[in-house]
């Protein structure tokens, strides 16, 4: 059996999970992972990423309904996605991106009642047997190091 080290996970394991929405809580304190704050939305590192650099953009307003977003919320969210993509490109040089949202629990939304857009950088060859056979994502860099790379390239 192989061992995969993820020592940063202990913080989550022993933390007080509390009640309420994780994205609403993150909008207030962000646990140090907030990348950028706007008037209508904010960007944050995904604590449980698919790949290194996986970020999310969410409105401050608690809603899981895309149709309920105002024009201002939609506009600022997409503008922030552009800023994050530019910063990741500059700091991390990915080959591409997956950008999107999962609407509803059956669509894969982990936090179904608070809409958020995922920004997932991709590199040629970053998919291997680990997620398929081992149900494991291998993240090659500590989240704080990645956060610093992205933050330093944000407008």
pLDDT in tens, 13-24: 666 656 788 899
Q: Could you tell me the pLDDT band of residue 81, with boundaries at 50, 70 and 90?
A: very high
Q: Could you tell me the pLDDT band of residue 135, with boundaries at 50, 70 and 90?
A: low
- In the predicted model, what is the mean pLDDT of residues 88-116? 92
What global pTM score does this model have? 0.79
- Tell me which of 54, 116, 118, 137 is the catalytic residue: 116
Q: What is the CA radius of gyration of the chain?
A: 16
Closest CA to 9 of 111, 122, 136, 109: 136
The architecture that CATH gives domain 19-151 is 2-Layer Sandwich (3.30)
Closest CA to 82 of 57, 114, 52, 51: 57
- In the predicted model, what is the mean pLDDT of residues 9-32? 74
Name which residue leads in pLDDT, 11 or 81.
81
Active site annotation includes 116: yes
pLDDT at 134: 47
């Amino acid at each position: 059996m192989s061992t995969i080290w993820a020592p940063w996970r202990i913080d989550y394991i022993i933390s007080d999970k509390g009640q309420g929405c994780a994205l609403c809580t993150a909008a207030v304190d962000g646990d140090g992972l907030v990348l950028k704050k706007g008037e209508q939305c904010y960007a944050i590192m995904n604590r449980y990423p698919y790949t290194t650099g996986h970020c999310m953009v969410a409105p401050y307003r608690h809603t899981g309904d895309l149709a309920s977003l105002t024009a201002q919320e939609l506009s600022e969210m997409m503008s922030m996605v552009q800023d994050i993509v530019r910063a990741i490109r500059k700091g991390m040089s990915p080959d591409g991106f997956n950008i999107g949202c999962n609407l509803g629990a059956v669509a894969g939304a982990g936090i179904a009642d608070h809409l958020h857009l995922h920004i997932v950088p991709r590199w040629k060859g970053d998919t291997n047997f680990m997620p398929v056979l081992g149900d494991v994502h291998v993240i090659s860099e500590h989240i704080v190091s990645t956060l610093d790379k992205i933050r330093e390239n944000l407008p």
